[in-house]
Amino acid sequence: MKRKIETLCVQAGYEPKSGEARIPPVAQSTTFYYPKTQDMADLFDLKADGYFYSRLANPTVAAFEGKVCALEGGVAAIGCSSGMSATALTVFTLAGAGDNILCASAVYGGTYNLFGVTLKKLGIECRFFEADAPAEEIEKLIDGRTKLIFAETIANPAIIVLDIEKIAKLAKKHGVVFAIDNTLATPVLCRPLEHGADIIIHSSSKYLDGHAAALGGVIVDGGKFDFEGNERYPSFNVPDESYHGLVYAKLKGAFGTKCRAQMMRDLGAIMSPQNAFLSYIGCDTLALRMERHSQNAQRVAAYLENHPKIEWINHPSLPKNRYYELAKKYLPNGQGGMMSFGIKGSVEKCAKFLEALELITQETHVADVRSCVLHPASTTHRQLSEADLKAAGVPHNLIRLSVGIENADDIISDLENALKRV
Ligand SMILES: *Cc1c(COP(=O)(O)O)cnc(C)c1O
């Protein structure tokens, strides 16, 4: 029986055998014991499943991987040390020097740097596109060396809701892998694999963990992309000499296997057992939390929309929002806790507002249980001129608010008091 998402949050990923711990124990061990040489040889040949070294796999990390894999509806998942490493490993599994990838221009700042600056140094070109552009325009960027299309379900911090099926159709037409960063929506609010995405990546440092306790990332392989005979992906179709001549395209879950066996082996950005444990138990309450984050955010957005000192507000729950219709399709059960808004007036006014908040704290983090704010123009983006800020889609008065799971009345009254002081 296919269980519902609330049940999977609580139950998926780990099943104890008789007498074993009810929740996954922290397997704080680099290595694993085998008395028989052949048993270990079979592991190295990928003929048997099991653990031998925690850089490749670990039982606690496997429990968390299993949970996220079940939530997204994939065939395999790989726990990573951070969301950034999950994104980097995804690219390196598919692309090399001379190749290119496509990425929506409004993405997480770290991803923008990785794709625009670091990948360029390695010979991989990133072609950025406007997520709202017509498919025909985005299509022009695809050529024979395009290995990946990448975008976020809900872009951070622009809060753009992606038309997933528009991009999926394009990717399918050209036989290109389509990966989605589903960090801000979470599988509770949206499962992009059901809309045609091939790979999901997460920064589990955000809602999945939920407590701002553990940095982490996950890659989920949807398992449906057919690499076999696809000329775009020779590295999946020729024998991997570094792995006894394995041809990945012939395997079920080709992407996930290549990613772990090749890239995790060589780059070692694996999740730690302790962080996997924290992220696993964090996910137990994910469905409940996303419901509350979404409800609170909807109330806060409706309040701010009518406030005379607010110039504009961006949350897809608002009927006037540009992404309201897309959110109805892709995020019908809640639009999450992330929003941005602009205060009328100067940069100084924004700083004054932030300092007047008492409950809501200033942080660079987002998407955990506590409400928090950030003013990019005076922190993360402070080196940019007003013109550059505009080009980056971050107006000088933009305030990013991550609505937590406190009582919504308390969040609103904190905002109200602070707005009185500007
Ligand atoms: C935070 C974040 C990342 C990066 O994740 P880390 O765990 O901080 O490395 C990637 N994508 C999105 C949408 C994020 O919010």
Angle, CA 72 vertex, CA 139 and CA 142 arms, to 5° = 10
CA 176 to ligand 1 centroid distance, Å = 24
Answer yes or no: is the C-beta of 215 below 6 A from any ligand 1 atom.
Answer: yes
What three-state secondary structure class fits 127?
strand
Instruction: Please indicate whether residue 110, judged by its CB atom, sits closer than 6 Å to ligand 1.
Output: yes
Q: Which two tokens stand for residue 413?
A: 């009254």
Pick the CATH number of 7-282 from 3.40.1710.10, 3.40.640.10, 3.60.15.10, 3.40.309.10: 3.40.640.10
Q: Is 255 in the pocket of ligand 1 (CB under 6 A)?
A: no
Query: What are 133's two structure tokens?
Result: 């552009």
Q: Residue 392 — pLDDT band, cuts 50, 70, 90?
A: low
SS3 179: strand
| pLDDT tens by residue, 43-71 | 888 788 889 899 999 999 999 999 999 99
369: left (phi over 0), alpha (psi -120 to 50) or beta: alpha
The 3-state DSSP class for residue 24 equals coil
pLDDT, average across residues 197-214:
98
Candidate from 156, 270, 278 with most ligand 1 atoms within 8 A of CB, to mutate:
156
Query: Is the CB of 217 within 6 Å of ligand 1?
Result: yes
417 Cα: distance to centroid of ligand 1 (angstroms): 31
Placement of tokens 């939390």 in the chain:
289
Q: Ligand 1: which residue has its CA nearest to atom 2?
A: 203
Q: Hey, whose CA ends up nearest to atom 8 of ligand 1?
A: 83
pLDDT band at 335; cut points 50, 70, 90 = very high
* Distance from residue 106's CA to the centre of ligand 1 (Å): 13
Which of ligand 1's atoms lies nearest the C-alpha of 216?
Answer: 7
Are residues 220 and 200 in contact, defined by beta-carbon separation less than 8 angstroms? yes
The predicted structure's pLDDT at residue 219: 98
Q: Whose CA is nearest to atom 4 of ligand 1?
A: 83
pLDDT at residue 126 tops 70:
yes
**Residues 277-302: tens digit of each pLDDT:** 999 999 999 999 999 999 999 999 99
User: Is the pLDDT assigned to residue 391 strictly greater than 70?
Assistant: no
Average pLDDT of 134-145? 98
8 A C-beta contact, residue 396 and residue 389: yes
- 84 CA distance to ligand 1 middle (Å): 6
Give the span between the Cα atoms of 222 and 256, in whole angstroms.
Answer: 9
Q: Which fold has domain 286-420?
A: Aspartate Aminotransferase, domain 1 (3.90.1150)
Angle at 70 between CA 64 and CA 75, to 5 degrees: 100
Q: Which residues of 186-196 are buried (b: 16+ CB within 10 A; e: fewer)?
A: bbbbbbbbebb
Mutate to test the pocket of ligand 1, among 183, 190, 209 (most ligand atoms within 8 A of CB): 183
- Name the strand (E) or helix (H) holding 393: none
**Residue 365 Cα to ligand 1 middle (Å):** 9
Task: Determine whether the shortest distance from the Cβ of 90 to ligand 1 is under 6 A.
Answer: no
Query: How long a stretch of residues is the chain?
Result: 422
CA 83 / ligand 1 centre spacing (Å): 5
183 within ligand 1 shell (Cβ under 6 A): yes
**Band of the pLDDT at 21, cuts 50, 70, 90?**
very high
Helical (H) or strand (E) element with 392: none
Residue 200 Cα to ligand 1 midpoint, Å, equals: 13
Which DSSP helix (H) or strand (E) runs through 344? none
* pLDDT tens-place string over residues 72-114: 999 999 999 999 999 999 999 999 999 999 999 989 889 999 9
The whole-angstrom distance between residue 385's C-alpha and the CA centroid of its chain comes to 29
For residue 333, what is the DSSP state?
T
User: Domain extents for the chain?
Assistant: 7-282, 286-420
Average pLDDT over residues 229-257: 93
246 Cα to the center of ligand 1, angstroms: 32
Contact 52, 34 (CB under 8 A): yes
Indicate the top mutation candidate among 81, 82, 84, 154 to test ligand 1's pocket, ranked by most ligand atoms within 8 A of CB. Answer: 84
Condensed to tens digits (0 to 9), the pLDDT of residues 312-331 reads 999 999 999 999 999 999 99
Cα 373 to middle of ligand 1, angstroms: 16
Q: What's the number of CA atoms in the CB half-sphere (13 Å) around residue 390? A: 3
| Nearest-atom index, ligand 1, CA of 84 | 9
Atom of ligand 1 lying closest to residue 204 CA: 7
Please report the pLDDT score of residue 264 as a whole number: 96
The number of beta carbons lying within 10 Å of the beta carbon of residue 119 is: 22
Q: Which letter does DSSP use for residue 249 in this model?
A: G
User: Does the structure show a pLDDT above 90 at 129?
Assistant: yes
CA of 215 to the centre of ligand 1 (A): 9
Give the rounded distance of the alpha carbon of 93 from its chain centre: 17
Does 156 sit in the ligand 1 pocket, CB within 6 Å? Answer: yes
Which of 22-26, 55-59, 379-383 comes out lowest in average pLDDT? 379-383
Q: What's the rounded Cα separation, in Å, for the pair 292 and 233?
A: 43
Across the chain, mean pLDDT equals 95
> From the alpha carbon of 107, which atom of ligand 1 is closest?
13
* Distance from residue 108's CA to the centre of ligand 1 (Å): 7
| Mean pLDDT value of segment 403-417 | 98
- Ligand 1 atom at minimum distance from 184 CA: 13
The C-alpha angle with vertex 222 and arms to 219 and 228, in degrees rounded to 5, equals 110
Which of 276, 236, 231, 228 is CA-nearest to residue 257? 236
Whole-prediction pTM: 0.96
| Mean pLDDT, range 24-33, rounded to an integer | 97
Res. 210: pLDDT tops 70: yes
367, 184 contact by CB (below 8 A): yes
Q: At which residue do the structure tokens 């009927």 appear?
A: 319
Q: Is the Cβ–Cβ distance between 85 and 217 less than 8 Å?
A: yes
